[in-house]
Amino acid sequence: MSSEQDHLKETDTEERFEFKKEQRAAVKSDKGLTEEVVRLISEDKDEPEWMLQRRLRALEHYQNMPLPTDWPGQPDLTELDIEEIVPYIRPDVDKREGADSWDDLPDDIKDTFDKLGIPEAERKALSGVGAQYESEVVYQNMQEQWEEKGVVFMNMDQAVQEHEDLVKEYFMTKCVPPSDNKFAALHGAVWSGGSFVYVPEDVTVQMPVQAYFRMNSEGMGQFEHTLIIAEKGSEVHYIEGCSAPKYGSHNLHSGGVEVFVDEDAHVQYSTVQNWSKNTFNLNTKRAIVEAGGRMEWVSGSMGSKATMLYPCSILKGRGASANQISIAFAGEGQNIDTGAKVYHNAPNTNSTIESKSISKDGGRTNYRGLVHISDGAVDSSTSVECDALMFDNESTSDTMPYMEINEDRVDVAHEATVGKIGDEDVFYLQSRGLDDDDAKQMIVSGFIEPITEELPIEYAVELNRLIELEMEGSLG
């Protein structure tokens, strides 16, 4: 490929994520987190009284909980002023349940998702697509063949109305209660949009479903909620994409994810996040896995000023398993603090955690993990592998694994490596005709291969390209 073609490809990729649209809102809340703002959100969504009361209880938890500030090496959250964040912006669209056709969307919103490649992805690789713009899902579609089998894929606001009993039973009650942490409480008070996925017993959704979340406005917060219920013997792959343009003031992303994996079911949750470098990315993601069930988390974290993200699997039933694979990239001014939590609460449970991190230009990455094996969880096993790659002496990478082992008859393994890109490796590739940048990019591509091979080819290509642009300092 010529240098001119390379430059055009780079420019096209940057434009996909860095463009901005003029804000056009039907409803916009005041800044900050108050009871008035919470009531405005609930009233605008015409929610049942029980949901309003849950929001208000979450608000009370938020007001009474301290900001986490004393974790060793954690990102500095003092620059994040919640009172300057706008928690709710409903874009000016006609259908609250999301348009059925791209042609039904306003031109500016349609153009946004066209540039992000959502229509093309839907045609080529997906069973269903949801697209959220600011605080509202503006488009939702599911292929008829899955709807006929009873699969439900809709936005959470619509699910509150149409599947009230299920939502009332599962929403922030069993998996991620608002009392879990300050940002879970914040999320419970002002959540908006997100996805509801229900897969009936013994149904396998053979192509992934995707939701894409786009923040367009400056100084806003996005608080989408994802609830996935996979019944016995079912299988589904959910892909989440996220992006935002860069502004002078901070944005906040504080989503919530709850996954329920029933007996012998299988859920894979893949995330490719490319937040701008003024965004604080503070999420809570958790799965409860019943006997014989399998949960997989695949995460790519690029962008953001600071990220604190630790997907959690609670292995509740005998023979349940979890596989967690993540990659984090931190450049100048970034602190990406990611990891995993697994609770082995039953016999014969199994978990593997594989973490890859890359840091350059003084960026900081950190693996922060917890594996807990309960008394009685006999014949369980866990394997944790953390690998860090640094480009220079100014960058930092740490590994902070924590193991709580309360049962003797278990198998526990942990391995961690930290290193710089070796001059001899670069020299060898240069001797084969590659220049310095291409040689380093090839080394990084091999380093992250365990993550990319778990994604559909379209998303693996995109993840590799985002990493390349981050290495060049071209994003955010």
Task: Residue 192: count other Cβ atoms within 10 Å of its Cβ.
Answer: 27
pLDDT at 187 over 80: yes
pLDDT > 80? residue 44: yes
Average pLDDT, the chain: 81
421: amino acid identity, one letter: I
Q: Is the pLDDT of residue 236 over 60?
A: yes
* Domain residue spans of the chain: 3-472
* Cα-Cα-Cα-Cα dihedral sign, residues 120, 126, 127, 133: negative
- Average pLDDT of the residues in 357-365: 89
Q: Which of the four pLDDT bands, split at 50, 70 and 90, describes residue 50?
A: very high
Residue 237 has pLDDT above 90, yes or no: yes
Which residue type occupies 405? Answer: I
Q: Which of 301, 322, 310 is nearest to 370 (CA)?
A: 310
CA 228, distance to chain mean position in Å, is 14
* pLDDT range class, residue 130, cuts 50, 70, 90: low
Q: For 340-351, what is the mean pLDDT?
A: 98
* Average pLDDT rounded to a whole number, residues 281-290: 96
Lowest mean pLDDT among 5-14, 47-56, 157-166, 363-372: 5-14
Q: In angstroms, what CA-CA distances link 240 with 166, 293, 442?
A: 22, 21, 26
> 302 or 309: whose pLDDT is higher?
309
**Which band of pLDDT confidence, cut at 50, 70 and 90, is reported for residue 328?**
confident
User: What would the two tokens of residue 232 be?
Assistant: 């016995």
CB atoms within 10 A of CB 16: 17
Confidence at residue 428, expressed as pLDDT on a 0 to 100 scale: 53
Share of the chain above pLDDT 90, in %: 45
The residue type at 279? T
Higher pLDDT, 71 or 15: 71
Q: Does residue 20 carry a pLDDT above 60? A: no
- Indicate if the pLDDT at residue 423 is higher than 90: no
Q: What is the pLDDT of residues 203-235, one digit of tens each?
A: 999 878 877 766 666 677 889 999 999 999 999
| 8 A C-beta contact, residue 289 and residue 283 | no
Name the pLDDT band for 126 (thresholds 50, 70, 90). Answer: very low
Please give the single-letter amino acid code of residue 160. V
Question: Does position 111 have pLDDT exceeding 80, yes or no?
Answer: no
Q: Measured between alpha carbons, how far is 464 from 442 in angstroms, rounded to an integer? A: 10
Out of 195-199, 203-207, 435-439, least confident range:
435-439
Supply the pLDDT for residue 255: 92
Gap between the Cα atoms of 442 and 339, Å rounded? 25
Least-confidence region, from 44-58, 221-235, 268-282, 288-302: 268-282
Q: Is the pLDDT of residue 88 over 60?
A: yes
Checking if the pLDDT of 138 tops 70, the result is no
The answer, yes or no, to whether residue 172 has pLDDT greater than 70, is yes
If pLDDT is split at 50, 70 and 90, which confidence band does 294 have? very high
Residue 282 has pLDDT above 90, yes or no: yes
Q: Are residues 369 and 403 in contact, defined by beta-carbon separation less than 8 angstroms? A: no
Residue 424 has pLDDT above 70, yes or no: no
pLDDT given for residue 101 in this prediction: 53
Calculate mean pLDDT across residues 229-258. 82
Q: What confidence score (pLDDT) does residue 19 get? A: 39
Q: Which residue did the predictor score with more confidence, 254 or 443?
A: 254
Instruction: Name the more confident of 71 and 145.
Output: 71
> What pTM was computed for the model?
0.84
pLDDT in tens, 381-413: 999 999 888 888 888 888 899 999 999 999 999
Higher pLDDT, 28 or 265: 265
Q: Which of the four pLDDT bands, split at 50, 70 and 90, describes residue 30?
A: confident
Query: Using an 8 Å Cβ cutoff, are 354 and 339 in contact?
Result: no
Average pLDDT on 115-129 reads 50
**Amino acid, res. 163:** H
User: Cα(449)–Cα(440) distance, rounded to whole angstroms?
Assistant: 14
Which position has the higher pLDDT, 189 or 136? Answer: 189
